């Protein structure tokens, strides 16, 4: 059952709109509940489709239009809903900013002539176009100079492909392997961790590639730029990112 517009508006206006709160809100998104985004999605929406779209990527810019990170759609909608961000959309070669209300209005118009690369989620009473770029209107921190070392970035660096057999797999069918096992003194670093399918991981066990008679397809390195950004540009859905990424080709 959907929440009434009045209740949503009241909830939306509760704090989080000043500079300090918006900055804090963004930095704490991993710990915050995304209840606003959940309220926007009708319960009757197909769970598999909705979940898939809500987990796709959105490029986040600081208020100076510099790319700072990638988040999923659910998190981006929460930032938009709390007036901490605006959607940046390409309109005939010109990038225009939209707040939550104007983006909802644009979505209703755009849904009549959907483009192949566009995706929509079923909001309360209408379809909402999935944003691909958001700008934090009060967040002025500079992009991180180093890429965060985590599972998501490791999988992205290796393009979700096993570095032993070359098979691409979804995340739930992949693991991370220490090229030189920890029992042999190998470290947990960019240069010693690779994406690995479950079959190859089981075959290799606690051995080095040489001991297991397995060959690495490529040497693991520390990426200079966020792999989530650079790899996503191969997808037509994220073509608009290229303008904001100086690594674009």
| pLDDT tens-place string over residues 24-79 | 444 444 333 444 445 455 433 444 555 688 888 899 999 899 888 888 899 999 99
Q: How crowded is residue 243: how many other Cβ atoms within 10 Å of its Cβ?
A: 15
Does residue 116 have a pLDDT over 50?
yes
Distance CA 1, CA 39 (A): 9
Question: Cα separations (Å) of 154 from 151, 157, 209, 231?
Answer: 5, 5, 19, 12
Residues 222-246, mean pLDDT to the nearest whole number: 78
Distance CA 20, CA 135 (A): 16
Bridge partners for 161 per DSSP: 168
**144-232 carries CATH number 1.10.150:** no
Q: Return the ∠ at Cα 163 (arms to 157 and 165), rounded to 5°.
A: 145
Q: How crowded is residue 210: how many other Cβ atoms within 10 Å of its Cβ?
A: 9
Q: Residue 1: what pLDDT? A: 36
Q: Return the ∠ at Cα 87 (arms to 132 and 69), rounded to 5°.
A: 55
pLDDT band at 86 (very low <50, low <70, confident <90, very high): very high
Does residue 178 have a pLDDT over 60?
yes
Radius of gyration of the chain measured on its C-alpha atoms? 21
Q: Residue 28: what pLDDT? A: 43
Helix (H), strand (E) at residue 12: helix 5-12
Residues 183-203, mean pLDDT to the nearest whole number: 97
Annotated domain spans of the chain: 46-136, 144-232
Helix (H), strand (E) at residue 135: strand 133-136
pTM equals 0.62
Distance CA 197, CA 231 (A): 20
């Amino acid at each position: 059952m959907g929440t009434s517009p009045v209740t949503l508006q009241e909830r939306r206006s509760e704090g989080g709109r000043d500079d300090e709160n918006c900055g804090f809100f963004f930095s704490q998104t991993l710990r915050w509940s995304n209840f606003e985004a959940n309220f926007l999605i009708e319960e009757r929406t197909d769970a598999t489709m909705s979940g898939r779209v809500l987990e796709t990527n959105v490029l986040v810019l600081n208020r100076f239009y510099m790319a700072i990170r990638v988040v999923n759609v659910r998190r981006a909608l929460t930032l938009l809903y709390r007036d901490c961000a605006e959607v940046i959309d390409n309109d005939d070669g010109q990038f225009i900013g939209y707040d939550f209300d104007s983006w909802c209005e644009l979505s209703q118009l755009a849904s009549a002539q959907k483009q192949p690369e566009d995706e929509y989620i079923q909001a309360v009473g209408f379809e909402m176009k999935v944003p691909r770029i958001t700008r934090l209107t009060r967040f002025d921190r500079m992009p991180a100079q180093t890429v965060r070392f985590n599972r998501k970035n490791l999988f992205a660096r290796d393009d979700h492909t096993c570095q032993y057999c070359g098979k691409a797999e979804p995340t739930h069918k992949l693991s991370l392997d220490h090229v030189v096992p920890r029992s042999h003194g190998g470290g947990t670093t960019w240069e010693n961790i690779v994406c690995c399918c479950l079959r190859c991981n089981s075959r290799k066990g606690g051995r080095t590639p040489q001991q297991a008679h397995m060959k690495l397809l490529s040497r693991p390195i520390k990426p200079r730029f966020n792999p989530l950004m650079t790899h996503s540009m191969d997808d037509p859905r994220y073509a608009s990112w290229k303008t904001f990424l100086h690594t674009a080709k």
